[in-house]
Amino acid sequence: MFTFLASEAARDLRRAGRVGLSAILLITLSLAALGCFWLLSVNLDQAVSQWRERVRVVAYLREEPRPAAVDDFVARVQALEGVQRVRFVSRAEALSVLKRSLGTQASVVDQLPRNPLPASIEVTPTPAAATPDGTRGLSQRLAALPEVDEVQGGAEWVESLAQWQRLFELTGLGVGAVLALAAILTVTTATTLVLHARRDEMEIMRLVGATEVVIRLPVLLQGMAQGLLGAAVALVALIAAHTVVAPRVEPLLTLTLGLQRAVFLSPPQMVLLLTGGALLGALGGLLAKGRAYA
């Protein structure tokens, strides 16, 4: 029976003609737009999580503690609220890091009369504390320690990146919603036309004793098929665009956001996009059905 209903739905889809095609095109456009913003959001989200993991607060010390006192000091810092990990950086280690970063210019450091760098501790906040408020609180607690001279670092800029990500997500949803509404209306129109063309058929079906499910299911399937087709075309377009654009923008992403590669939607996200398309189409079919039967 399902094969028959599906073949009836396919027949209806052919009957919908240009209007049906427009509906598929609109669903493609709305889901492609939604997908574009989704891709941006997914990549920014990746960058945000990556940078959240890298949030550090550095406390510079007034004096380097004696080697025997280092462990005790680190333990005291470790015991503070919001601290996940503490690493002590001695003055000598700081200088050696500076030399390494200067590369061929490292000899400049040797000209210095004495090591100007202070000892420090690099504090990794717990995931819960890796927020602007969390790192602010942690900085205050570190600054209150008598050994600490100055505190630097925080999560403000990571948060502003996260805000951008949310903005992209919301804009995507807004644009997608407007286009989706247009797509639903077009599917509704296409399906209403099909229903008018099917009037006689439906009358016969009722008279001979077909159940309402058998009469109405092809309409729903036809809408779903339009939605699914539109979503599939949108997905193929997104994959093609990603394949072409990603290699060109990846150097820029690495430089600005620290992302090694531009990621694409995950398989569950792709399934969600396709399901979304099918649901859009089904909704259009349902609305048309209501309109026609009213």
Partner 1 sequence: MISLHHVGKTFGGGPARHTALSDVSFTVEKGEFAVLHGPSGAGKTTLLRLLYRDEVPSEGDIEVAGFDVPALRRRRIPKLRRSIGIVFQDAKLLGGRTVFENIAFVLRVIGTPRREITPRAFAALKAVGLSARAQAYPTQLSQGEAQRASLARAIAKSPLLLLADEPTGNLDEEMAGEILEVIRDIWQQGTTVLLATHQAALAAVLRRRTLWLREGRLVKDEG
The residue among 5 and 98 lying less far from partner 1, judged by its C-beta, is 5
Closest CA to 83 of 55, 53, 124, 121: 124
The residue among 8 and 64 lying less far from partner 1, judged by its C-beta, is 8
* Shortest reach from residue 41's CB to partner 1, in Å: 46
Q: Considering all CA atoms of the chain, what is the largest pairwise distance in Å, rounded to the nearest integer? A: 104
* Shortest reach from residue 201's CB to partner 1, in Å: 6
* Shortest reach from residue 20's CB to partner 1, in Å: 16
Binding site for partner 1 (CB under 8 A): 1, 4, 200-201, 203-212, 214-215
In sequence order, the β-bridge partners of residue 60 are: 120, 150
* Shortest reach from residue 203's CB to partner 1, in Å: 7
* Shortest reach from residue 209's CB to partner 1, in Å: 4
* Shortest reach from residue 210's CB to partner 1, in Å: 4
The residue among 208 and 244 lying less far from partner 1, judged by its C-beta, is 208
Tally Cβ neighbours within 10 Å of residue 140.
10
What are the DSSP calls for 205-242, one per residue?
Answer: HHHHT--HHHHHHHHHHHHHHHHHHHHHHHHHHHHHHH
In sequence order, the β-bridge partners of residue 86 are: 123
The residue among 5 and 239 lying less far from partner 1, judged by its C-beta, is 5
Q: Which two tokens stand for residue 197?
A: 């063309």
Closest CA to 37 of 228, 178, 227: 178
* Shortest reach from residue 241's CB to partner 1, in Å: 40
Buried b (16+ CB within 10 A) or exposed e, 280-290: bbbbbbbbbbe
Closest CA to 66 of 98, 90, 96, 94: 90
The residue among 207 and 294 lying less far from partner 1, judged by its C-beta, is 207
The residue among 205 and 283 lying less far from partner 1, judged by its C-beta, is 205
CB-count exposure of residue 139 (10 Å: 0-12, 13-18, 19+): buried
The residue among 10 and 175 lying less far from partner 1, judged by its C-beta, is 10
In sequence order, the β-bridge partners of residue 7 are: none
